[in-house]
Chain A
């Protein structure tokens, strides 16, 4: 009950801020942008991209986070539907569990564009835009082999195996690395996608495996956590790579610590999602395929300075 009240209050406050009075009547209405956690730079970049594009196209916006909680996501979706939003940009809380959430919105004639995470059903969301995690994973894994060589010991720190994108990235790593029989993975641990568990995992792995040449990580915070651990153990010789492309990773690459990452185009995916939603609202169709992939960009010392807020400047 209190949780529902809190959510309702948050939405009301956000609406109040985004839509003073009935100001949206003069514009094209309001688009809801729902992402995981706004204190995470990746999701904040998604929200920023979607919000700026929506405003550019004449919409008001409401930006909310579900904190990867499926129940909260459902509550927020129902609340914004009740508020009469024209459409929803959603980075969902769980691929399978979100099928019903998206269906609820569509049944109420509110179109949904999914960004970052797909759902395992076609024809419900008007678009499903995701990062090409396999391309991202294989590119960084190939660079990893080229850097540490085709022989030796390495460690994999996965980001969060409850997240399908993290599973896909791990699969991509192994598609490349498992083709080198003399390259041995001596430890594999899930670091829950965060810096501190990444550091803790690396601390304990280092106790047992001192000969490792490299650490490949499922996301950026975990890679940075591994670097923190290796630095405190005086192991600057160990090559660390990851995926995400945050400003922190960029700075670490420029400082010569992180050797490579792949930048996911968080802003790009969100901007395209809003464009498709706008087109659908105006014409009843997007004119494009429902499922689309976005390329990850390999970032090394050579091009790291082009990264800002998950946007790659040419």
Chain B
């Protein structure tokens, strides 16, 4: 398929019909070239697999803070906790917290496609354990993996659809990893997981596990 590119397509069509077509003001391009012309000035965005393995997992591992500490701060004041422990690209996004989730799996819930593994995390200072729910897929809710990493910004894509596809790709990759692990009750886990929220938590702390020890 080829496409004529010119300023006055209608006029050209008339000339063509009359058998007196002149391509002087036009040139013919292929589909690939047309796509390139249309995409001029737009960004393609980075490669999800490469970003995850080379940058995002190391970032998560390095920046995750003990879950009990972060959750205590969040329960006290969302804005302060976001400043101290969180990352958000702008107010268009929730605040994302990297939690170090170390503890025992107490329950696995596979009744929904949003699979869950409940983990009890004991605070370093002692006291009651805090409960974190690791999302185990196959459906993962939210785009915290993408949005919790400062190395990727919306402006790298300049297109909501491509930005979303990138987030989905990251989710797929982390779901593949957690599903291959087949977590069981009683198992001990140590993982950096991202928790995204707009405000103080009101229900379960549902985090997406990313960087496993």
Contact = CB atoms under 8 A, between A and B. Distances in A.
Interface of A: 120-123, 130, 132-135, 138, 142, 150, 168, 171-172, 175-176, 179-180, 289-295
Contacts of B161: 134, 168, 171
B30 interface: no
Nearest to A296: B92
A33 B11 CA distance: 35
B158 interface: yes
Q: Which 6 A-B pairs have the closest CB atoms?
A: A293-B92, A295-B92, A134-B164, A179-B139, A132-B92, A121-B41
Contact of B138 (A172, A176, A179): A179
B151 to A, nearest CB: 16
Contacts of B139: 176, 179-180
Given A132-B160, A168-B161, A180-B139, A289 B155 contact: yes
Given A132-B160, A291-B158, A122 B41 contact: yes
Interface in B171-213: 198
A227 to B, nearest CB: 27
B32 interface: no
B142 to A, nearest CB: 8
Interface of B: 38, 40-42, 90-93, 112-113, 138-139, 141, 143, 154-155, 158, 160-161, 163-164, 168, 198
Contacts of B160: 130, 132-134, 168, 293
A97 B91 CA distance: 30
Contact of A295 (B91, B141, B164): B91
A293 B41 contact: no
Given A179-B113, A295-B93, 20 more contacts: A120-B41, A123-B41, A130-B160, A132-B93, A132-B160, A133-B160, A134-B161, A134-B164, A138-B143, A150-B112, A150-B113, A168-B161, A171-B161, A180-B139, A291-B154, A291-B155, A292-B90, A294-B91, A294-B92, A295-B198
A94 to B, nearest CB: 15
A120 B38 contact: yes
Contact of A135 (B42, B92, B138): B92
Contacts of A290: 155
Contacts of A123: 41
A175 B41 contact: no
A285 to B, nearest CB: 16
A209 B90 CA distance: 42
A74 to B, nearest CB: 16
B164 A175 contact: yes
Nearest to A96: B38
Nearest to B153: A289
Contacts of B143: 135, 138
B66 to A, nearest CB: 28
5 contacts: A120-B41, A132-B93, A171-B164, A179-B138, A291-B155
B166 to A, nearest CB: 11
